[in-house]
Structure 1
Amino acid sequence: MNLELNFVLPHWLYWSVLLFLPPIMMLMVWRSRRRGARPTQSAEIFAHGEEALAGTPSNPVLRAVEGLSTFTGTFVGYWSLVAVVVYTYEVIARYAFNSPTNWAHESMFLMFGMQYLIAGAYCLRVDGHVRVDVLYSRFGPAVTAALDILTSVIFYLFLLVLTLTAWTFFAQSLSQEQFFFATGWSNEVSFTEWRIQYYPVKGAMVLGGVLLLLQGTVRLVKDIQAFRVAIRRHTGARWPLWGMVGAAVILGLVILLEMVNVIVFGDSPEHLLFTLEGSLEDIGIGTLTLVMTGALLVVLLAGLPLAFVTGGLGVLFIYLVGNHYMLNIIPSRIFPLMTDYQLSAIPLFIFMAAMLEKAGLIEDLFDVVYHWIGALRGGLAVATILASTLLAAMVGVIGAAVVTMGIIALPAMLKRGYDPKIALGAIMAGGTLGILIPPSILAIIYAVVAGQSVGELYLGALLPGLLLSGLYMGYVALRAGFNPKLGPAMPREERVDLPQRLRMLRNMLAPISLVVLVLGAIFTGMATPVEAAGIGTFGALVVAALHGRLTWVNVHDACMMTLKATAMVLWIIFGATVFVGFYILQGGQQFVQELIVGTGLGPYGILILIMLVLVLLGMFLDWVGILLLAVPIFVPLIAGLAFEGVFGLPGVPPEKVALWFGVLYLVNMQMSFLSPPFGYALFYLRGVAPPHISMGTTYKSSLPFLGLQTLGLILCILFPGIILWLPGLAYG
């Protein structure tokens, strides 16, 4: 009997679902709130931030713009639910009915591509775009407002050029001419048998740019208002502050003039007054490297979000070194990311994490582990690391476990007399294991940038992640074993008998089964990481329902958490692909590679040098920025070297070097989160620690675990089988 399914999603139904599902969801959430429903309290790292930001404008036009950003973000945020249904259908159709489809994958990565672009304004509205606040947060209100006004020039430069070039990109998919109302309608469609229209997807790039420009204008008005208030109270010299504001005005006028030159006189050698186009045409690659690096550091330290720093500087250098025609490569660089299948796993895994958190499983997980091993010396800290390891396999969201365990486990350890440095270090080290242990979001992005298999990278990172987890737990157990005052055992009155501990395990059957299902589907090759993420998200909804937490409000919150985190990551990728792509196009990749090879170091010496560079970058930049700036340059260099082993130990097969380096990179990034002075985990935990825990104590607590991470990295270099054994078993 033939049980094959032959359903193909009609185009009209696809667009109808995307248009009409969000209003229905909005209505259900509104009704649920009217009846008094409240969301489950979330850890800070998951907060979706719909609250009004400081300085909400009283002007009705500006309030309308903020409302538009919130509405459009909420609208596309609900699209994540569509992916859960479609990917669940795809897996069932493939394995139950032998009916695999192409339209399921194509419909979803195109949907997510549109979501990424449109959600940028919402992310800016809720202050979700990350910035390097090494110096920025230490300035007074007048200085920060002046810096925000000055750096807004870079923001506008990127978004104006993106919107204008994306308009041409969009219009050409509608028509062979430059405008959608011209003759010669082409109706560009995909190259698959589904043949879906491309112009709505490309149009999302224009819409996303317009929405960001509008929301950015609201933020600029707020910055101007804040500056006017702060400058009156400023007690220091005022002329540098007015100088920054004046520089912003001058730079803004220069940009307007250059736009007039391009639009009005672009095809003529005569210009209105002067032009900066091509003024750095003859600059050498060495000088260009210094100038681009210096500009990047200066604007980053000035506090502009990373996505707009790299995008804006990329536009600037394209125009100064090349010409305005080269700016049209910007949408061409971004569109492949909008249509990248593997990136679809990011919002799905984040959504899965958010739903599991809403189901209250994180607290249950810690409670179960604590009662099983808390009777040991240092047992609470060991339980924290073990719970973080399991949590990493559930969420894959970097930083989520640090904040969550900081809220749950830190008070419990301090209350029971644990040494603060042991308690803090255990939380930070265990909480960052999500970088390595699947389903790591960082591993997905690395695989996309480096052209690696996500499944192989997941398998390769699993044993190093478990190795580090074991090192952390062993260190804590040894320290507490020799000195019980550092980590006292659980008081006898809190201990429970074996039958009660076994009953507690029932609460963990559903989430553990879900993790086994998701990772098992990936590791056995039964499903791609994206399909597994879709199944996992469906399972998370089921788990939330079993725990009585599947409410309209909780689903809404999970969608918005997902949207904020995904938009932040993807907009950084969009900006960096412009900046790094231009640098590589100018020969930057070859220049850096020749510079490193010119040191005369052997393959392992070059590897160590790269690891040190990554550690240094990790002290200042976030993980997405490091990945996008460094990986495209370092991976081709490493892949061309021969690692034949040291001290008589086995080497790395040439075809496995890229995979081996990828996992080493992930281990290195875990180190960056704990590296003083600006490791992100240090500040995640400091934000939820009691006031009497100083930043100095937090720094000191990270050092032993940094040493263990260094040991883990060395072991993975000396014994590459730690990384390559599992992928070899699965893939040969």
Structure 2
Amino acid sequence: MTPEMIVLFMFSSMLLSMLTGQRVFGVIGFVGVVAAALLWGQGGFEIGFSAGMKLMKWYPLLTLPLFIFMGYMLSESGIAEDLYKMFHVWMGGLPGGLAVGTIGLMVIISAMNGLSVAGMAIGATIALPELLRRGYDKIMVSGVIQAGSSLGILVPPSVVLVLYGMIARQPVGQLWLAGFFPGLLLAGLFIIYIVIRCRLQPHLGPPLPKEDRNIPLGQKLLLLRAGILPLMIFLLMMGLFLMGITSLVESSAVGAVSALAVAWFKGRLTARVMDRTIEQTLGISCMFMWIILAALCFGAVFDGLGAVKAIENLLLNRLGLGPWEILIMMQISFIIMGMFLDDTAMLVIVAPLYIPLVGKLGFDLIWYGVLYTITCQISYMTPPFGYNLFLMRAMAPPEISLADIYRSVWPFVIIMCIGLAIIMAFPEIALWLPHHVYVKG
């Protein structure tokens, strides 16, 4: 059997096994270990052990639990709710204003956490009930929350971009800066769509009644304080890192300690908040670790088969495709895989195959990291098996059905595809800021 056929067999076995409902990391690890044993005998079992040792020695991985702790501490201590009250008052008078405020909340939460899961949880628990109570269309708000949560792995400090930087051996600081303007671009496109559609169809997102908006200017200005502390944490953490004062791991520790200090300062550092934060941090961190461990084992089998060279030979020599055709094929493959895998699994399995090829084609790997994250979020929101769709269904109230969720995402998927096309056509949107800070600076 040729290496190409073995690779195809491994992928098909993995996807079929996932249809049985098994956990992602269990399926990936099982297929990897079994394939290694069948190919190389008893010595193949050492691949799984080697992957575990590699993971334990991966020092930058310490950033994951620290960033996750920071985000959940800020959300569990009620700071996210304070932020939503601020947007509620300031944006409520616009058509679709609360939905616009929800996008703003998601951008700030993304800057505090770096995970789409956390943004989804906060949006579904804080924003969704209020939007429904105010008469917003359930299909509209379902799409808004899913689209807003997609910014979590793009706006710095993105956890996924940290992992991409480790695998692609690219500077994390440059990747974070590269994601900044594309994240704002997508948020801006979402807001423009919401305002225009709610102006044309006011019943989808009615503005707040005047009595709810008649708040003295002094009180409105006081509400702006809700955004000061999260902004200070973000600037402290990112500033120290970008100035070279702290390393990536030290910067994540600064963020975690700052979030703890803010919760204490506001009098919200209770035993319940600490317990919930630690529980959520451990759950998400362990999920990441297991997926990375399994995917490293799976990827090691690919390396042993020479899959990278086989893919290069297939695309460049046999099919004779051009650089842009190959790049578009890669993005389409990510969308298909995103129906079955989460972004971490896709990154650790496929990136070692694609990244060398992207570099060989002459594309910038910082720019490609941004394309990867956007494409992952498009795949997460694409029916029938998008990860975000089922996560939203698990968190949404009973009156929002899975069919409603499917219908809600299509406008935002189209918007994200437009944003992706813009960034592909104009790479400087992603590359100007890191070039300006790191190269010219």
> Shorter-chain-normalised TM-score: which range?
over 0.9
Structure 2 residue aligned with 1:717? 424
Q: Is the 8 A contact 2:124 2:395 kept in 1?
A: yes
Residue 680 (str. 1) matches residue 387 (str. 2): yes
Q: Which residue of 1 aligns with 2:270?
A: 551
RMSD: 1.6
Paired-residue identity, % = 38
Matches within 5 A, 1:204-603: 283-495=1-213, 496-597=215-316, 598-603=318-323
Looking at structure 1, the residues matched to 243 and 212 of structure 2 have their Cα atoms a distance apart, in angstroms, of 41
> Alignment partner for residue 639 of structure 1, among 345, 353, 359?
359
Q: Is the 8 A contact 1:318 1:326 kept in 2?
A: yes
Structure 2 residue runs without a partner (length 5+): none
Deviations 1:653-683 (A, max 9, x none): xxxx111111110111111221111222222
Corresponding residue of 1:665: 372
Secondary structure of the corresponding residue to residue 280 of structure 2: helix
In 1, are the aligned partners of 2:72 and 2:118 still within 8 Å (CA)?
Answer: no
8 Å CA contact 1:350–1:562 kept in 2: the answer is yes
Superposition misfits of 4+ residues, deviation over 4 angstroms: none
Contact 1:524 / 1:730 at 8 angstroms: preserved in 2? no
**8 Å contact kept, 1:355–1:540:** yes
Q: Give the paired residue count.
A: 437
Residues 489-539 of structure 1 deviation map (CA, whole Å, 9 limit, x = unaligned):
111111122211111122332222112211222333332222111011111
**Paired residue secondary structure (1:692):** coil
Superposed CA deviations along residues 340-386 of structure 1, whole A, max 9, x for unmatched, are 22211100001111211221111111111111111111101100001
Note the C-alpha offset of 1:468: 0.3
Separation (CA, whole Å) in 1 of partners of 2:298 and 2:394: 32
Q: Contact conserved, 1:446 with 1:627, CA < 8 A, in 2?
A: yes
- TM-score scaled by structure 1? 0.58
CA separation of 1:312 and 1:483: change in aligned 2, threshold 3 A: closer
**Letter in structure 2 aligned against 1:576:** A
Displacement after TM superposition at 1:458 (Å)? 0.5
Does the 8 Å CA contact 2:84/2:101 hold for their aligned counterparts? yes
Q: SS at 2:351's partner residue?
A: helix
Cα distance, 1:608 vs. partner? 0.7
| 2:332 maps to 1:612 | yes
Q: Which moved more, 1:590-599 or 1:443-452?
A: 590-599
Taking the aligned partners of 2:249 and 2:3, their CA distance within structure 1 comes to 39
How much has 1:448 moved relative to structure 2? 1.5
Following superposition, the deviation at residue 567 of structure 1 comes to: 0.9
User: 1:642 & 1:339 partners in 2: Cα distance?
Assistant: 32
CA distance in 1, matches of 2:226, 2:344: 35
- 2:350 is matched with 630
Report the Cα distance in structure 2 between the residues aligned to 1:726 and 1:525, rounded to whole angstroms.
Answer: 17
Is the counterpart of residue 702 in structure 1 residue 409 in structure 2?
Answer: yes
Q: How far apart, in 2, do the equivalents of 1:401 and 1:454 lie?
A: 22
Q: Within 1, Cα distance between the matches of 2:4 and 2:325?
A: 23
The CA deviation at 1:555 is 2.3
**Matched letter for residue 551 of structure 1:** T
Report how far residue 287 of structure 1 moved.
Answer: 2.4
- Partner deviation per Cα, 1:574-610 (whole Å, 9 max, x = no partner): 1111111112211112112222223322111111111
Contact 2:110 2:151 in 1 (8 A): yes
Instruction: Output the amino acid matched with 1:635.
Output: I
Deviation at 1:715, TM superposition (A): 0.7
Instruction: Name the structure 2 match of 1:693.
Output: 400
* Contact 1:358–1:544 under 8 Å retained in 2: no
Separation in 2, partners of 1:437, 1:506: 22
Q: Distance in 1 between matches of 2:112 and 2:229?
A: 12
CA distance in 2 between counterparts of 1:442 and 1:609 reads 21
Compared CA separation, residues 555 and 413, structure 1 to 2 (3 A): closer
* Post-superposition offset of 1:553: 4.1
Deviation readout 1:24-45 (Å, 9 max, x if unpaired): xxxxxxxxxxxxxxxxxxxxxx
Q: Provide the secondary structure at the position in 2 that maps to 1:399.
A: helix
Whether the 8 Å CA contact 1:460–1:663 is kept in 2: the answer is yes
Cα distance between partner residues in 1 of 2:390 and 2:299:
28
Distance 2:28 2:390 in 1: 24
8 Å Cα contact 2:36/2:47 also seen in 1? no
How far apart, CA to CA, are the structure 1 residues paired with 2:255 and 2:375? 28
1:729 counterpart = 2:436: yes
Distance 1:621 1:696 in 2: 21
Look up the equivalent residue of 2:157 and give its one-letter code: P
CA contact (8 A) 1:393 1:434 kept: yes
Contact 1:377/1:481 (8 A) holds in 2: yes
In 2: Cα distance, 1:523 partner to 1:664 partner? 22
Are the counterparts in 2 of residues 385 and 426 from structure 1 also a CA contact under 8 Å?
yes
600-609 vs 404-413, which moves further: 404-413
SS at match of 2:367: helix
Contact 2:139–2:405 (CA<8 Å) still a contact in 1?
yes
Letter matched to residue 639 of structure 1: G
Q: Which has the higher helix share?
A: 2
Distance in 2 separating the partners of 1:602 and 1:669: 23
Local SS of the residue matching 2:370: helix
**Shift in Å, 1:484:** 1.9
Deviations 1:202-231 (A, max 9, x none): xxxxxxxxxxxxxxxxxxxxxxxxxxxxxx
- Separation (CA, whole Å) in 1 of partners of 2:116 and 2:106: 11
CA contact (8 A) 2:112 2:157 kept: yes
- Cα distance in 2 between the residues matched to 1:676 and 1:288: 29
How many Å separate the matches in 1 of 2:149 and 2:32? 34
Write the deviation string for residues 688-729 of structure 1: whole angstroms up to 9, x where unpaired.
Answer: 323222222211110010011001110111000011101101
C-alpha deviation, 1:389, in angstroms = 0.6
- Aligned mates of 2:8, 2:376 — CA distance in 1: 25
